[in-house]
Amino acid sequence: MADKKANVHWTGSGKTGKGLISTETGALKEYPYGFASRFEDDKAGTNPEEILGAAHAACFAMAFSFACDKAGFATETVDTTASVRLAMQGDGFVINRIALTLKAKVPGIDAARFQEIALAAKGACPLSKALASVPEITLEATLV
């Protein structure tokens, strides 16, 4: 498989500087971020945690859908949210929790099997594996 690439161009100092995030596919093209969008809830830009959450939610949704396929269940809809918490630790910051929320419509599956597949997909998701150093990755799965 090919490497996937993202680029950042940053100008200025840490607190007053601004960055532009781009991806090779063009899905993000010079998308702004900075101190305010990361630490002050400014909605004028994005931040690394939001992008990480989007990537984790997307990866998990696909892993869940593939796991359902393998188990003989076709997913109709899969909606996933990842809430990423950035917290102060010592003199710096750490991501100390990612909360995944899944709502899926999977015809013919019972609640117990749904939960089993969702939990297994969380463990099999490549981004969950890559983020194994995060102390807490939770999953709330709801069958619709």
Question: Residues 83-87: what's their mean pLDDT?
Answer: 96
**Beta-ladder partners of 100:** 82, 139
Percent of the chain with pLDDT over 70: 100
In this prediction the pTM is 0.93
Find the angle CA(36)-CA(61)-CA(85) to the nearest 5 degrees: 30
The β-bridge relationship of strands 137-143 and 92-105 is: parallel
Residue 71 CA to residue 28 CA, distance in Å, equals: 34
Architecture of domain 48-143: 2-Layer Sandwich (3.30)
Residue 1 has pLDDT above 80, yes or no: no
Confidence of residue 44 (pLDDT cuts 50, 70, 90): confident
List, for residues 92-123, the tens digit of each pLDDT value.
999 999 999 999 999 999 999 999 999 999 99
**pLDDT(41) > 90:** no
Domain extents for the chain? 6-39, 48-143
Give the Cβ contact number of residue 24 at 10 Å. 12
